[in-house]
Amino acid sequence: MKARPNTKFVRHLLFVAGLLCSLLAILGFLLPLLPGTPFLILAVACFSRSSEKAHRWILGLPGVGPILVAWERDGSIPLRAKILATLMIVLSTLYPLFFEGLPLILRGVAGSACLLLLLYIWTRTTRSRS
């Protein structure tokens, strides 16, 4: 039977994971092929279980803080973020799908993945401007 991990150890591990996810989120917002938002959401989840101070800090970030609070509260996404995400997904997918010499099967997989992602985004609750 495996022993339960020390709670303090798990908190430290989650804190380090939150820092790593924060770094990957920053890189994701700077680099075109690395998504930043999923890492930011993971960082919030890690910090919420490891450090109240780090959790408050990340939720207080200008620009993304209110969006993260809404996501953590009820899984909602602002309409503006949905529109921007849709625009970026469509624009970044059009070139590889239609102008590169990709095999048809890869085009189908990429197009399907983008459609599923858009379906997920648009089926989340839209946050009002309260």
Per-residue model confidence as pLDDT tens for the chain (130 residues): 344 456 888 889 999 999 999 999 999 888 877 788 888 989 999 998 988 899 999 999 898 888 888 888 888 888 988 998 899 888 888 877 777 677 888 888 888 888 999 999 999 998 765 4
Burial label, 25 (beta-carbon count in 10 A; 0-12, 13-18, 19+): buried
Q: Cβ atoms within 10 A of the Cβ of 86, count?
A: 15
Q: Cβ atoms within 10 A of the Cβ of 1, count?
A: 3
Residue 34, CA distances (Å) to 13, 26, 88, 96, 112 in order: 23, 10, 13, 16, 19
pTM of this structure: 0.72
CA distance 73 to 120: 18
Q: Cβ atoms within 10 A of the Cβ of 29, count?
A: 14
Any residues with CB less than 8 A from the CB of 102 and at least 6 apart, and which? 96, 110
- Give me the residue spans of the domains in the chain: 1-74, 76-130
CA distance 26 to 28: 5
